[in-house]
Amino acid sequence: MTSTVAAGVDGSPASTAAAHWAAEEAVRCGASLRLVHAWPWLTDGVSSFAEPDDLPEAAQRTLAAAAEEIRGRHPGLAVHTDAVLDAPVDGLVAAAADVDLLVLGSRGLGGFTGLLLGSVSMAVAGRSGTPVVVVRESREGRTGTGSGEVVVGVDAHSPEEEVLAFAFREAALRGARVRAVHGWDLPPLFGYAGGAVPAGEIAQLEALEAKLLSLALAGQREQHPEVEVVEDVRLGAARGLVETSAGAALVVVGRRRRPIEFGPRLGRVAHAALHHAEAPVAVVPHG
């Protein structure tokens, strides 16, 4: 799928989990791995990357230790290291432009050695033009790298092929099935009327939503006949993704590219998935 997978590292447990997830992804798709450490104090306003001899000793140790650990687990994997001369968010967004996938930890260390704070990973996921995977290390140390489903959030009324294509490719790489979750809400008129909604009317609406989901998936099913698909239609898009994330290998959500640099960059579904999903979350820009 990709030729280069990058991971942001800062020595924290979350970024270490992200680096290992990225390494496994690189092995799956025959890519190289690039470990990126943002070091804003070295910004010179001109260069994009620092020479190794110019890095503070702590940064050298962080990159070298991460690379050594990865190479020990994956001897055949090409691992490169870079120190980005910029503030963490800007540096990681710039680094993402040169790779096919960027992987971040959900939370890192604070203070002097901090890189991947929750706010940083959220901001990068909201700005990057490249898909970003945010990995949350569980209490058991797992990072969702198993053979579970690839869960993808689908707006059946306005499906995005870039998001679906990413999910189906990831499932094909893993030999996993896709669970396509389409969350829908009752039309506003039911709220205006008040009272309980007749079960028969809910069933009719749900049948229509299910038909729209099937149509939305038709193109990717044709391109990936080897991938098993589960169509999952339920009330509430964000809640549905979070509920189905337990045991998943990956949760995939979309994010619309925005031409402006201010204002919200993540929709409510992507935001909820990043905060609450139990599996790694891939945010795929589209549009």
Each domain of the chain, given as residue ranges in start order, spans 4-135, 150-286
Which CATH number is 150-286 given? Answer: 3.40.50.12370
Q: Look up the pTM and report it.
A: 0.87
Fold of 4-135: Rossmann fold (3.40.50)
Q: Which of 163, 32, 37, 145 is nearest to 99 (CA)?
A: 32
Instruction: Find the distance separating the first CA and the last CA of the chain, reported in whole Å.
Output: 20
Asked, colleague to colleague, whether 4-135 and 150-286 share their fold, the answer is yes
Whole-angstrom CA distances from 215 to 89, 144, 163, 269 are 38, 29, 15, 21
Q: What is the pLDDT of residues 74-132, one digit of tens each?
A: 999 999 998 877 788 888 999 999 999 999 998 754 433 444 447 888 899 999 999 99
11 near 113, Cβ under 8 Å?
yes
Structure confidence at residue 40 as a pLDDT band (50, 70, 90): low
Q: Which of 141, 160, 133, 157 is nearest to 251 (CA)?
A: 133
